[in-house]
Amino acid sequence: MTTHNDTTQYTSAEMMTITAARALTNNMTCFVGIGLPSEAANVARLTHAPDVTLIYESGTLQTKPEVLPLSIGDGELCESALTTVSVPEMFRYWLQGGHIDVGFLGTAQIDRFANLNTTVIAANHPEGGKNGAHSYANPRVRLPGGGGAPEISTNAKEVFITVKHSKRTFVKDVDFITTIGFGRDGKGRDNLPNIGRGPSVVITDLCILKPDPATKELIVTSLHPGTTKEDVIEATGWEIKFANSLETTPVPSEKELHVLRELKARTEKAHSAQEAI
């Protein structure tokens, strides 16, 4: 889908990345996931938040990659980092020590209480939504797993999530909780000491969602330009609710689009050159 902003055209994917980038502010310390979170975090660094500190799971601190990394082991992260520490130090001191402001994550499935699943899709529930007895032992799809996301979710001061919006991804109840949001009933973080506040925003290619302060169920707080309530309802696997004062997400600026497109072009060129070797 292409949306128009007077003379500027942009895709729904670009809208999502730029909106996610805006969630980061200057001087934040952000633990970045590979994929969409990495794309958004680096757009933020290259635009409005030049002093954001980006940290990747491999131990790279204050990294400033020229191209988007293929994985946490991509040499680009180490070469452009202020320093690189061991993975045990990364988790035990930086993350568990309370030094991370934001964990920025993606996912394969997310449910109404912002629990994330990157482990298995149940064999007997192709759209998710129930916990089949054999969902882990005999899944329809086995996913890569959580990596550091479970620890990031419970130790970062808050969590941002960015993911494309569809019924396959937005299910009422995830098949497997890899990374806790607010638990199966929205109370999974209640009365637990030394645990972060959890997911504070979910940004998709259709809208922005935030947890309801009372129930912790995700509600839509802002629609992207050109998106209707019906679009979101159709793409969500539960009876989604909308904020009383529903906002419209600001459109991308020409600068933001230019930076994003240049970053992706550099990345594609660099990775194509590597494949050719």
Q: How many CB atoms lie within 10 A of CB 111?
A: 26
SS (H, E, C) 17-65: HHHHHHCCCCCCEEEECCCHHHHHHHHHHHCCCCCCEEEECCCEECCCC
Which two three-digit tokens encode residue 171? 């299910």
- CA-nearest of 66, 52, 213, 188 to 116 is 188
Q: Per the residue annotation, which of 14, 39, 57, 217 is the catalytic one?
A: 57
Q: Identity (one letter) of the amino acid at 257?
A: L
Q: Is 39 a catalytic residue?
A: no
19 vs 181: CA distance, rounded Å: 21
Let me know: does 129 contact 171? Beta carbons within 8 Å.
Answer: yes
- CA-nearest of 179, 176, 181 to 114 is 181
Active site residues per annotation? 57
